Amino acid sequence: MSRVLVAMSGGVDSAVSAALMKEQGHDVTGVTLKLWGGPQDQGCCSVSDVDDARRVAQQLDIDHFVFNYGEEFDRHVVGPYVDAHAAGLTPNPCIECNRHIKFDALVSRAKKLGFDSVATGHHARIIETDRGLRLARGVDESKDQSYVLYMLTAQDLSMLQFPVGEMTKSEVRELARRQGLRSAAKPDSQDVCFITASEGRARFLSDRLDLHTADVVDVDGNDLGTIDAVELVTIGQRRGLNLGGNADRTYAVQVDVPSRRVVAGSAQDLLSEDVQLADHVWADKPYIGPVQVQISAHGNQASASLTSDGNVHWVDARRKVAPGQAVVFYSDDLVVGGATAI
């Protein structure tokens, strides 16, 4: 029997993960992370989520604790999110939370407390290969979360368990219903936990950085108007460009925050054959050759090749990837690695 620390967000996936770990005979302890101390009406880790997790732990007759990582969350997730917008980047705070909080700070603490592994409710799998442990897509492709876990190395995976990765979401909910868990019908959290639905991203950022007006021009440099906040524009965006009747120039195809300039163009202008990348993380060693590439949490895969300089070359031209976005590489279901678009 091993000691397992289960990260319990208050949702159904982590609740079932705890139930499965106990069912398998492990000595299970639940923990919920207190991350964001500001206003909150969506996402995970709210006060009500903590209460839901605690009540599930009571149902399962396991110990439950709350770990406060508020300072770390501000430093590694919220601050960089604001800084990224100021620099004209498109960040993914969930990836940074996984990278720095859930699979760094929490796992490190679990080791110090004598736990043998940490289990979470992520829909992903850990596969034993002839080259060691590898991260793979979850069985339920519509709920797969391997994209936001791409930074996990074989060493990281040796300390982790993803109990629901082999299950579909409907199977998870059915198991929760059979066991009478209070989170069985709880909706999935979808949005950034530190941005409220009532006020939104623009208000959140305007409270933390200066937003600047910018000129909007077409691909030939002709003036099309202005926008109120260049820091809120991302490549591929259609809304908020104030283009009026310029129906053929409906996408932001280039965003230059220092120059306070946005280039708007057609869908054709948005196409690119390559993605320049930095800050690679490899599952094994740097890879050159054909891969499937995903550029958003639940986006479709597209065929591409990884070049010798670590960039992506699409088989068929695709829309530009915004700087700051994570780009993750797959071979079948296995994660080959990932990087950040520049």
What CATH number did the domain enclosing 295 receive?
2.40.30.10
Q: What is the predicted pLDDT for the residue at 204?
A: 95
Rounded-to-integer distance, Cα 308 and Cα 312, Å: 10
Question: Looking at the whole model, is its pTM more than 0.85?
Answer: yes
| CA angle (75, 152, 330) in 5-degree steps | 125
Query: Does the pLDDT value for residue 57 go beyond 70?
Result: yes
Amino acid at 22: K
284 within a domain of the structure (yes/no) = yes
167 and 19 in one domain?
Answer: yes
User: Structure tokens of 78?
Assistant: 């919220």
How does residue 248 score in pLDDT terms, banded at 50, 70 and 90? low
Same domain, 75 and 36: yes
In a domain? residue 107: yes
Q: Are residues 115 and 245 in the same domain?
A: no
- Looking at the structure, tell me whether residues 219 and 328 fall in a common domain: no
Give the pLDDT score at 341.
98
- Over 90: is that where the pLDDT of 281 sits? yes
- In the chain, the number of structural domains is 3
In the predicted model, what is the mean pLDDT of residues 26-44? 85
Alpha carbon separation from 76 to 9, 79, 100 (Å, rounded): 19, 6, 7
172 & 232 share domain: no
Q: Are residues 255 and 281 in the same domain?
A: no
Catalytic (active site) residue 97: yes
> What pLDDT, on the 0 to 100 scale, is given for residue 140?
97
In a domain, 199, yes or no: no
- Average pLDDT score over residue span 39-43: 64
pLDDT score at 41: 63
323-336 mean pLDDT: 98
Domain around 83? 3-122+162-178
Question: Looking at the domain assignment, is residue 50 inside a domain?
Answer: yes
Is residue 146 a part of any domain in this protein?
Answer: no
Candidates 44, 45, 94, 193; catalytic one: 193
Compute the mean pLDDT over every residue in the chain, rounded to the nearest whole number.
94
94 catalytic? Reply is: no
Q: If you write DSSP's letter for every residue of 42-110 in order, what string do you get?
A: SSSS-HHHHHHHHHHHHHHT-EEEEEE-HHHHIIIIIHHHHHHHHTT----HHHHHIIIIIIIIHHHHH
The reported pLDDT for the residue numbered 125 is 98
**Same-domain status, 28 and 172:** yes
State pLDDT tens for residues 189-245.
Answer: 877 889 988 889 999 999 999 999 999 999 999 999 999 999 999 999 988 887 766
Q: Are residues 237 and 282 in the same domain?
A: no
